[in-house]
Structure 1
């Protein structure tokens, strides 16, 4: 039943993609902040 499998796989794939994109954006933001603070140290 390819139809049933596709119907089950599509929502799961969407959730995985959303989570992955969110994690990547958060990591990029943290890395940018880290580099910014490292290039401009303010103790």
Structure 2
């Protein structure tokens, strides 16, 4: 049961971050996501 809420919380901030970030911040987030996807 603990896994379900964790996934929900992780999914919410993901889309909210790119919306707030701008310019360099957005690029940095993209790079971070790429690294996470590779792992």
Structure with the higher fraction of residues in helix conformation: 1
Q: What TM-score, normalized by structure 2, do the two folds share?
A: 0.47
Q: Considering only CA atoms, is the larger Rg found in Structure 1 or Structure 2?
A: 1
Q: What TM-score, normalized by structure 1, do the two folds share?
A: 0.44
